[in-house]
Each structure stands twice: as structure tokens, then as C-alpha cells.
Amino acid sequence: MTPETGTPDDRPPIEDVLSRFLEGEPEPGDGEALAAAMERNEQLAAEVRRLLAVDDLLRQTHELDPSAFTEALKTRLAAEDDCDDFTRAILDQIPEAGEPPPAAPASTQPSVNPLATPRSAWRFGARLWAFAAAAVLLAVGALWWLAPASTDRGVASQVAWLNNAQNCQWAEGGTPAGGIIPGKVLQLEQGLAELLFHSGVSIVLQGPATLELRSESSVRLLHGRLSARVPEAARGFEVLSPEGKVVDLGTEFGVSVADDGSARVYVFRGEVIAQPAGKSPAGPVSVREQQSAQIGAAGVSLETRGVGAENFVRAIVPPPSIVPRSLTLDFRHAKGGTLQDRAGLGTGLTHRLPGTGQALPLRDTNLRLDTQLGRLELTTTENDLNRQCKVDQGEYVGVLLSDLGFTGTEDFEVTAVFPNTPALGEVDQLGLYAGTRGDKNIRGGLLRPGGKQGIGPSTQFFVRNNGGDDSNLYMVGMVSTGADLVLTLKRVGGKYSLMVENQTTGESTSLSIRHPEFLDGEKGIHVGLFGATPWRNVPRTISVKEFKTTVWTRRYPGS
């Protein structure tokens, strides 16, 4: 199946009306317009009904607990069995959560059977339990209230459930485990938690925060931050705070409570009433779309130019998936369009570290691809990145990370296998690099320390170069000539390290240096391998068996 194509221009306006209606967001006049169109067009009327039906079936398809509806009904029917007419009469006198006081009844519609008047099935159970509590109270006195809340009240007594969570850490005793029943206090130490109420209200709680669930239509934010989406059907939903409360009028808003108990509300859509606590002489204030208000000891102060919207998380967006993108070279095939060896064979490596190798010929006489053995041989030249000595003839060959989707922030890794490492002379070096230029990079691998005359064992090293001179040189251990080495230079969580795995001795060493902040956020990072014999023209040949670069790209849902 492929989606139909269509442009906004050829779409009749009724499509806009219908799409708003289906999403539960009709604008004034939409109902009339849709009804009139359906009256005229029987086919449209039938389609609207089928679309609404499929909408609900989609909702059912995505239910977390497919048996929840039936189980709730069973609980309710069981309650019916226990309730005689007297009980029901009492139940009808207990107001539903969020209902106005008895002076303003929700409905004056006469009804022979109280159940013939639609009301919340889910709330019904709560009312039944309230009645049961009252009955037991009469029988055994107030001691009943001291008993801990029963946990077997069933589905109907839950006011909300945890619908989504991201990186959540809950305080002990403040987790949603055991059900979110009235009186439950959630203590979110970090992360985001989305609570969904039966009434359709959705709250995103941002840790650290403490929230008391009072009823289906009332919560108390003790500290921290939340955003709430309240459908029209749940108007009147309230968020209490130490200095006052916010009462919704069908909208989306955010509330934060500071350590001193003062609260700030920001309205994304619609309107809320911000009401100071009883002790304040000030009255309620209406806060409208894109306005914010402070609720403190002195009352409510409206900020006409809303501030703080950016502090609220309005929805939990799935984190990006991490997708590795790699380039692997085994040097068994020549690759056209890449850096050429002395015979004109493409090595597979695509870029030189900028600022290096400009003096080298197109067919690089220092490179030899041996496709039979699967090796790339690199013959060193006299140069050194330290003090930028003859770098125009330096061999620093590799790849540009952006070719693998790197945008400056991703983690990455480059690995190369160096079999049978050669004997090195004083300050000779080989290894891997990462950087944007010959004078802005980090590099590491093997180095024959200065001051050691002649050829001999090498040391593992890792060094920064920012501006042309090496700094923060780190050296450790000793590596004998002829060892097979696997070098891995990587950035994980933004931090760099170099791993040297000696396959001959079975030892491995991890090296780190002061963080090269000059590479942070750089988009044009190159990685690759190098070999150099500074201060003297004594070429040495380095063999490379495998080369692999990986960038851990992020893929956002929908992108």
C-alpha cells in the first residue's frame, strides 16, 4: 500500500473539518459543517462512520492490556451483585471525584434507573469503595481509617497508570508499583514519566518531582515540574501546589513548584484558573494561552508575556536509535576513486589529513597495495607533526568521518591491525590519528622515545597537537619489535581513548590524554593511519592488515 497523493489545493475544505473531528479537535462550526455535508452526501456519512469505527479499533489494537475492559466490567458487575437499591441510592449521593458540590449537581436529568444515566464505569468502583468505607466506619469506628489502604481494590480504584517512562529513577516507596490509587505519592528522582488518567488526562512528570495522586481529577505537585494535557471531557482537572492551585478549563499547561512552595503555571493551549491558597486575600486569575503566572504567598501575579515554556517537556519522544555506519578495508581489492598506491591501485582510503601530504604524487610511491596478502604497506617519510616539520610529505591517510554520517557529535572508532611492527629509530612513530588538520589533531600508537640512540623497542604513546606543537604526551609500556598490534582510537561519550592490543603477548593497554576540547563539535574530523621518521630520511615500511572505521549515527523516529 502507498499513501494517496494529494496537494492542499485539491483537497476540499471538508477534509480539514473531518480530520479535526476525527482527532477530537473540532473547531466551532465544524460539527455543523460536517453534519450538513453528510446530510448532502450519503457516501460521506457512511465513510465518516467507518473512519470513526476504525479509529476506535485502532485504539483497541494498541491497548496494553487487552483484557482490561472485560476485567473492569466483571469488577463492576460483581459490585452490582453486592449492591441493593439502598446501596445504590447512597452511592448516588457520593459525588464523583471532581464534581461540584451538591448545590450544583452535574445532572438534573431524572432517571428511573440510576445506571441508565451514563457515568464513568471506572469511577463507579471508587464510589462503591467510598460507600464501603463509610459502612465499615459506622460498624467499627474511626480505627478503620488508620488501616493501610487496601491494595485489592481492583482496576476500578486506580486513578491513573504509568503510560510511558524514560530514564526513570524512583525513590524507594515512591514508585508506581502496586497501582496508582488515590493518596499515592510518586517520587521521581530523575527521568520522565507519563501518567494517563481514565478521564483521558495525560501528565508528563519531570524528575526530580513529587506528585500526590488525589483522585482522577486532582493531583498535588509538592515540588518539581509537570505538564498536563486535559481533554475537554475532563475539564476541571486541578493541580494543587503549596501556595495555590491551577484549575484547567480544557487545555494544555505546565506547572512547576519551587523549593519555597511557590508555583508557576504556563498555558500552552486554552485557559486555566490560577487560584491562591485560602490564606491569601487575592482571588483567582485567568491565565490564557502563552501566558504564565506566579502563584505565591502574595497571591497570583500574571506575566502577560509568558515565560518558561521551554522548561516543560510536553511529550515523551522516543530516544533516537543508534545505528553504526562502518567502512571496512581488508586491502584485498583495489577501489577506484580512492587514494592511489605507487601502481595506481585505489587503496580504499579516501582522504589525507588536511595540511599533510600535499607534496606527494598522485600515485603515491610510499604506498603499496598487496591484494594477494591483503596488506597495505606504508613507507615512512621524514616529517613530524610536532613543530610541523616537512608535513607536506607526511603520510597521514584515512577517511573523512562525515562520509559515514558524522555531524560533529557522534561517537566513532577507528581500528587498524599492524602485523609484525618494524624496529623504530629515535622518535620514529606509527599509529592512528583523528583531527581536522595536521596542526589540530590527536594521534597515538608506537613511538621510539627521543634520547634512545639507534633502533630498538618502542613505547605506546598518545598525544595532542593543537597549533602545531605536540603537548600532553603520554607514554606507557614497552613493545618489542615484531609484535602484532591492533590499535583502536575511539570517542565514546565524547571522550577519547587509544587501545593498544598486543596480539603477540596477549596484553592490552588503554591510553588517555587530556581531553582535546579543540575537536569538540568539529564536523570535519578525519581519521586514519600514519607512519613517520622525523629528523632523518631513514624510511621504514609499516604493514597494515585491516582498517575499519565506525560512526555511531543517531536515527530519530520519523526521520
Partner 1 sequence: MESPARDRAWFIDRVRECQARLRASIRALGVRAEAVDDIAQDVFVLAWQKLVEFDHSGEFGAWVVQIARRLVANERRKEARRNRILAGEVTDLMLRLAPEAEGPLTRLERDEALTALRTCLGELPTHGREMIQWRYFDHLSPGAIAGHLGRPSNYVRQSLLRLRRLLLECVEHRLLSDGR
Q: Which of residues 173-212 bind partner 1 (CB under 8 A)?
A: 196, 198-200, 202
Q: Does 80 bind partner 1 (CB under 8 A)?
A: yes
- Do you know the residue count of the chain? 559
Residues 368-427 that bind partner 1 (CB under 8 A): none
- Phi, psi (deg, nearest 5) at residue 190: -160, 160
Quote the CA–CA distance of 509 and 474 in Å, as a whole number: 12
Query: Least Å distance between CB 154 and partner 1?
Result: 14
Query: Least Å distance between CB 533 and partner 1?
Result: 53
Residues 427-446 that bind partner 1 (CB under 8 A): none
Q: What is the dihedral of CA 486, 487, 493, 496, to 10 degrees?
A: 160
What count of other Cβ atoms lies within 10 Å of the Cβ of residue 399? Answer: 23
Residues 219-248 that bind partner 1 (CB under 8 A): 229, 231-236
Choose the stretch contacting partner 1; rule: CB under 8 A; options: 119-127, 206-214, 399-407, 527-535: 119-127
Query: Least Å distance between CB 519 and partner 1?
Result: 29
Q: What is the DSSP letter of 404?
A: G
Choose the stretch contacting partner 1; rule: CB under 8 A; options: 53-61, 207-215, 490-498, 517-525: 53-61
Residues 249-278 that bind partner 1 (CB under 8 A): 269
Among 87, 120, 175, 436, binds partner 1 (CB under 8 A): 120
Among 56, 172, 259, 310, binds partner 1 (CB under 8 A): 56
Among 48, 221, 228, 544, binds partner 1 (CB under 8 A): 48
Q: Does 122 bind partner 1 (CB under 8 A)?
A: yes
Among 12, 13, 101, 118, binds partner 1 (CB under 8 A): 118
Q: Which CA distances in Å does 423 have to 43, 270, 447, 482, 503? A: 85, 75, 10, 7, 17
Query: Least Å distance between CB 122 and partner 1?
Result: 7
Query: Least Å distance between CB 183 and partner 1?
Result: 23
Choose the stretch contacting partner 1; rule: CB under 8 A; options: 100-108, 301-309, 422-430, 461-469: 100-108
Q: Exposure pattern of 402-434 as b/e (b: 16+ CB <10 Å)?
A: eebbbeeebbbbbbbbbbebbebbbbbbbbbbb
Nearer to partner 1, 5 or 453 (CB): 5
What count of other Cβ atoms lies within 10 Å of the Cβ of residue 508? Answer: 13
Q: Exposure pattern of 37-68 as b/e (b: 16+ CB <10 Å)?
A: bbeeeeeeeeebeeeeeeeeeeeeeeeeeeee
Q: Quick check: 230 and 248 in contact, CB under 8 A?
A: yes
Q: Does 73 bind partner 1 (CB under 8 A)?
A: yes
SS (H, E, C) 108-158: CCCCCCHHHCCCCHHHHHHHHHHHHHHHHHHHHHHHHHHCCCCCCCCHHHC
Quote the CA–CA distance of 149 and 158 in Å, as a whole number: 12
Among 89, 134, 185, 315, binds partner 1 (CB under 8 A): 315
Query: Least Å distance between CB 18 and partner 1?
Result: 7
Choose the stretch contacting partner 1; rule: CB under 8 A; options: 129-137, 308-316, 320-328, 346-354: 308-316
Quote the CA–CA distance of 120 and 356 in Å, as a whole number: 74
Among 20, 214, 335, 515, binds partner 1 (CB under 8 A): 20
Q: Does 140 bind partner 1 (CB under 8 A)?
A: no
Q: Which residue bears the cell 530519530?
A: 556
Quote the CA–CA distance of 2 and 19 in Å, as a whole number: 19
Nearer to partner 1, 18 or 427 (CB): 18
Q: Quick check: 331 and 375 in contact, CB under 8 A?
A: yes
Q: Does 155 bind partner 1 (CB under 8 A)?
A: no
Among 41, 65, 69, 319, binds partner 1 (CB under 8 A): 69
- Which grid cell is 113? 434507573
Residues 21-40 that bind partner 1 (CB under 8 A): 21-26, 30-32, 34-36, 38-39
- Phi, psi (deg, nearest 5) at residue 438: -65, -20
Quote the CA–CA distance of 155 and 179 in Å, as a whole number: 9
Choose the stretch contacting partner 1; rule: CB under 8 A; options: 120-128, 332-340, 475-483, 515-523: 120-128
Q: Does 153 bind partner 1 (CB under 8 A)?
A: no
Query: Least Å distance between CB 245 and partner 1?
Result: 19
Q: Quick check: 20 and 27 in contact, CB under 8 A?
A: yes
Among 15, 65, 469, 517, binds partner 1 (CB under 8 A): 15
Check whether the bond before 95 is cis (ω within 30° of 0): no
Query: Least Å distance between CB 11 and partner 1?
Result: 7
Residues 316-355 that bind partner 1 (CB under 8 A): 316-318
Q: How many residues bind partner 1 (CB under 8 A)?
A: 86
Nearer to partner 1, 28 or 336 (CB): 28
Q: Does 492 bind partner 1 (CB under 8 A)?
A: no
Q: What is the DSSP letter of 258?
A: -
431: Cα separation from own chain's centroid: 36
Nearer to partner 1, 163 or 286 (CB): 163
Amino acid at 496: Y
Q: Does 89 bind partner 1 (CB under 8 A)?
A: no
Query: Least Å distance between CB 195 and partner 1?
Result: 11
Query: Least Å distance between CB 328 and partner 1?
Result: 27
Q: Does 70 bind partner 1 (CB under 8 A)?
A: yes
Nearest residue to 527 via CA among 309, 353, 270:
353
Q: What is the dihedral of CA 552, 553, 558, 559, to 10 degrees?
A: -170
